[in-house]
């Protein structure tokens, strides 16, 4: 191998594998409101939503944003109450409600303590950039990560999270317009129509 190429690869590896790297991951905020765009690589669809995130009580509220160019699309509000192990799905137009059990455990938007530092870099350009750190769940015995998270260096806000399964990307979520705190705690309270909720998830399309 050419000495210059070897030096370049060594430098790239040092950056990617976190040498010297920080002492540990930052602590992400426990309560915030903002927006996200979640891309599902299986369906090829982007889902845009307003999000209220409450890690203290393990609650998440997702309000899908309307798209005028998809006339058959139904738009829902989702309320995830992980301590109660239940999810409510509310049709934004008809207020129909579904109530289903949550089988997945609470997965906070943060950087686990045992994460592997991958890189630190700037998003944007000179005079208009944000410094971020990239972490993953890659371990020496498992070379391929199943989660990669990008968080701002200063305040540890989530920027992007990517999940993979069986060596293929499943979802990639971008976060933006984050504000600390929960302005209205009532967003986690299901509407009265959920008192007679159906036990099945409603279809995304009505055509």
Spell out the per-residue pLDDT of the chain, length 207, in tens.
443 333 333 333 434 444 467 889 999 999 999 999 999 988 888 899 999 999 999 999 999 997 766 667 789 999 999 999 999 999 999 999 999 999 999 999 999 999 999 999 999 999 999 999 999 999 876 667 889 999 999 999 999 999 987 767 789 999 999 999 999 999 999 999 999 999 999 987 765
pTM, 2 dp: 0.84
E-state strands within the chain: 31-40, 45-54, 59-64, 76-81, 86-91, 97-101, 116-125, 128-136, 147-152, 158-165, 168-180
Dihedral sign computed on CA atoms, order 120, 125, 127, 129: negative
31-196 CATH pick, 3.40.50.720, 3.40.50.300, 2.50.20.30, 3.40.718.10: 2.50.20.30
Q: How many residues does the chain have?
A: 207
Domain boundaries, the chain: 31-196
């Amino acid at each position: 191998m050419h000495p210059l190429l070897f030096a370049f690869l060594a430098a790239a590896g040092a950056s990617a594998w976190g040498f010297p790297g920080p002492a540990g991951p930052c602590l992400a905020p426990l309560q915030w409101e903002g927006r996200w765009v979640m891309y599902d690589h299986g369906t090829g669809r982007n889902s845009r939503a307003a999000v209220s995130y409450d890690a203290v009580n393990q609650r998440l509220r997702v309000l899908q944003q309307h798209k005028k160019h998809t006339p058959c699309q139904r738009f829902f509000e989702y309320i995830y109450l992980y301590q109660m192990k239940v999810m409510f799905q509310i049709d934004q137009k008809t207020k129909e409600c579904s109530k289903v059990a949550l089988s997945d455990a609470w997965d906070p938007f943060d950087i686990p303590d045992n994460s592997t530092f991958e890189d630190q870099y700037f998003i944007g350009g000179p005079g208009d950039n944000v410094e971020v750190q990239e972490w993953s769940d890659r371990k020496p015995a498992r070379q391929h990560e199943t989660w990669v998270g990008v968080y701002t260096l200063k305040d540890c806000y989530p920027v992007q999270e990517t999940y993979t399964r069986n060596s293929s990307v499943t979802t990639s979520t971008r976060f933006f317009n984050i504000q600390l705190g929960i302005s209205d705690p009532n967003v986690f309270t299901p509407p009265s129509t959920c008192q007679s909720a159906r036990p099945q998830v409603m279809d995304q399309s009505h055509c």
